[in-house]
């Protein structure tokens, strides 16, 4: 092989999504919100629990979306941040007797710091190398949580049981329903925060890095700072989702936060549309309900059915739910004209 280095003009890993295309219009947002508020009033407790999980995974997918769709960095380590958030909440509630709502910001801050620090070495890596590094984090996390040194706090392999909070002020609601509305409030707050983040100076910096790192740094974007910041924000949101997850499931154990979770979140992002924040909820629905549907179709072949369904989705809509939304919008536009 010659000593001349190869010069490659490479397409960016993540395609450019314009800023406006990353969010939803005001009208459709309100319809979505109304649905999310009203539906739980008419369904059973178990379904309310599933809807809560839908929002929680939606948050985690949203966090990955900010990292990958926003700043163009790939991560298979989201399960680690989710796990740290879950354990932070669980430990603070069970050992320090703290109020569940107060544990969430702490989980967020701890995960933000963790993600920010992890972002430092990850700065030098990109593409598959970054995928491997984050993957390593995801495989290490369950083992670290099981370590004997931390057992007095984490409960080792057994994990911790978390008590489910009652509705406050004597509201006439079941625990599940209260938790759903609580999660919904947190989700909406984080969604608004994320939308504004991506509209802000920092968000534009993320996207500039995603589209072309060298050009971004030439324009004066502090690439190192914004890349680690994206990791931090993503980890922080995932941590809050993890904390909510711990409260909703009432249990944390090391083996709930394996690489499988990270892969699910990744699939959720792809199905929802990379870089389209509202798609996160669609992706989350896919990873919660489709495995159950696959199990329902065939017990022995549930993996194959899941795989085939996933192939169907990516064949029909390679750009995920975003593509569906765009087509729907165009059709609506035609209807209005006609």
According to DSSP, residue 98 is labeled -
C-alpha distances out from residue 233 to 11, 60, 101, 244, 290, Å: 26, 11, 19, 17, 29
According to DSSP, residue 6 is labeled P
Q: Residue 207 CB, nearest distance to other proteins (Å)?
A: 16
Q: Which is nearer to other proteins, 167 or 263 (CB)?
A: 263
Q: Which is nearer to other proteins, 194 or 322 (CB)?
A: 322
Q: Which is nearer to other proteins, 105 or 296 (CB)?
A: 296
C-alpha distances out from residue 144 to 113, 117, 139, 141, Å: 18, 17, 9, 5
- For the record, the structure tokens of 33 come out as 């919100």
Q: Which is nearer to other proteins, 74 or 112 (CB)?
A: 74
Q: Residue 118 CB, nearest distance to other proteins (Å)?
A: 11
Strands (E), 99-229: 160-161
Question: Do the Cβ atoms of 270 and 153 come closer than 8 Å?
Answer: no
**CA gyration radius, the chain:** 21
Considering only CA atoms, which of 233, 200, 231, 202 is closest in space to residue 216?
202
Q: Which is nearer to other proteins, 98 or 136 (CB)?
A: 136
Q: Residue 269 CB, nearest distance to other proteins (Å)?
A: 8
- Residue 330 has a CB neighbour count (10 Å cut-off) of 10
Q: Residue 28 CB, nearest distance to other proteins (Å)?
A: 24
Q: Residue 230 CB, nearest distance to other proteins (Å)?
A: 16
Q: Residue 112 CB, nearest distance to other proteins (Å)?
A: 21
Q: Which is nearer to other proteins, 47 or 310 (CB)?
A: 310
- Residue 38 has a CB neighbour count (10 Å cut-off) of 9
d(CA 199, CA 23): 10
Q: Which is nearer to other proteins, 11 or 26 (CB)?
A: 11
According to DSSP, residue 330 is labeled H
Q: Residue 150 CB, nearest distance to other proteins (Å)?
A: 12
* Site residues (vs other proteins, CB under 8 A): 1, 5-10, 13-15, 68, 74, 121, 124-125, 128-129, 131-133, 135-136, 139-140, 143-144, 146-148, 212, 214-215, 263, 266-267, 269-271, 274, 300-308, 310-311, 314-315, 318-320
């Amino acid at each position: 092989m010659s000593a001349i280095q190869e010069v490659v003009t490479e397409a960016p890993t993540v395609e450019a999504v314009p800023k406006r295309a990353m969010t939803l219009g005001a009208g459709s947002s309100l319809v979505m919100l109304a649905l999310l508020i009203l539906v739980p009033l008419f369904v059973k407790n178990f379904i309310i629990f599933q809807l809560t999980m839908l929002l929680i995974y939606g948050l985690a997918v949203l966090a990955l979306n900010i990292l990958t769709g926003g700043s163009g960095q790939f991560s298979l380590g989201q399960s680690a941040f989710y796990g740290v958030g879950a354990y932070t909440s669980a430990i603070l509630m069970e050992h320090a007797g703290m109020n569940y709502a107060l544990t969430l910001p702490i989980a967020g801050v701890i995960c933000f710091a963790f993600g920010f620090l992890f972002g430092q070495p990850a700065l030098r890596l990109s593409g598959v190398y970054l995928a491997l590094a984050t993957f390593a984090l995801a495989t290490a996390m369950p083992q670290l949580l099981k370590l004997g040194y931390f057992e007095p706090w984490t409960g080792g392999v057994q994990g911790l049981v978390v008590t489910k909070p009652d509705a406050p002020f004597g509201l006439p609601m079941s625990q599940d329903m209260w938790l759903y509305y609580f999660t919904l409030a947190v989700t909406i707050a984080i969604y608004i925060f994320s939308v504004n983040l991506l509209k802000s100076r920092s968000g534009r910096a993320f996207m500039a890095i995603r589209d072309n790192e060298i050009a971004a740094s030439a324009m004066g974007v502090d690439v190192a700072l914004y890349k680690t910041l994206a990791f931090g924000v993503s980890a922080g949101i995932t941590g809050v989702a993890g904390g909510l997850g711990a409260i909703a499931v009432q249990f944390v154990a090391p083996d709930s936060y394996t690489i499988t979770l990270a892969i699910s979140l990744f699939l959720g992002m792809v199905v929802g549309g990379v870089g389209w924040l509202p798609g996160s909820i669609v992706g989350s629905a896919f990873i919660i309900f489709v495995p159950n549907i696959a199990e329902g179709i065939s017990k022995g072949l549930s993996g194959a059915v899941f795989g085939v369904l996933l192939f169907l989705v990516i064949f029909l809509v390679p750009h995920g739910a975003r593509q569906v939304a765009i087509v729907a919008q165009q059709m609506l536009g035609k209807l209005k004209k006609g």
